[in-house]
Amino acid sequence: MLIYRLGRRYLLRTSIAMRASQFAQLPVPTGRVVFFGDSITEGGLWDEWFPQLRPVNRGIGGNTIDDLRGRLDTAIDAPAAIFLLIGTNDLGLGRSPGQVSDNLRELVAEIRERAPHAPLHVQSVMPRKVKFAGRIREVNSAAWEIAAEADAAYIDLWPALADANGALRPEFTRDGLHLSGAGYAAWIEVLRPHVAALGVEH
């Protein structure tokens, strides 16, 4: 079992490095709508959900807030808008809601410094297995304040995705964390009015 876990970690680290190395080779997207986050963002077929945006997917599976801070240079440069989703992996690694919130505040401040006028959307950490519900709610309460401080929109995904116990609805997932097609469709419906407000057409 230990060998299996070590093998999975090695494969994850390799996958993260390989995807990040592609971003390092590509020009930083300017004038584009950037989806920035971890595996949940990476898994979104954004160019098909929102073809009018010509969106850029800067999600990498396994990323934490610190990881996003470390790759801002390959993600944020005069974007048309930013949709940020991050924090669940930090909680999964055992970081406290306070630590996650403090790190998120620093990340949002750095994004704002790089893109002071771009519409910035801070999305709530999505529900996952019920044991995480209390900690996620704490982070999301802070995220609302962080968004307000940064003149950003806060997007609460909890009502669309959580069940009565605060877990990710079973019809939206197969592992209690990542989204199925139905889960993405529910997320997209929450995002549609925010996307429409951008008035981006190509």
Provide the 3-class DSSP secondary structure of residue 81: strand
Helices 97-114, 133-149: axis angle to 10 degrees equals 30
- In tens, the pLDDT along 24-64 reads 999 999 999 999 999 999 999 999 999 999 999 999 999 99
Summary mean pLDDT of the chain: 94
Give whole-number Cα distances, 157 to 6, 7, 161, in Å. 33, 33, 6
For 131, the token pair is 């044991």
What is the pTM for the complete model shown? 0.94
Question: How many whole angstroms separate alpha carbon 41 and alpha carbon 61?
Answer: 8
pLDDT tens column, 102-119 = 999 999 999 999 999 999
115 contact partners, CB below 8 Å, separation of at least 6: 76, 77, 78, 79, 82
**Which pLDDT does position 99 carry in this prediction?**
98
> Count of alpha carbons within 13 Å of 202, Cβ hemisphere only?
11
Calculate the CA 55 to chain-centre distance.
14
Q: Which domains does the chain have, with CATH numbers?
A: 2-198 (3.40.50.1110)
Q: Which two tokens stand for residue 151?
A: 């003149």
Res 5 pLDDT > 70: no
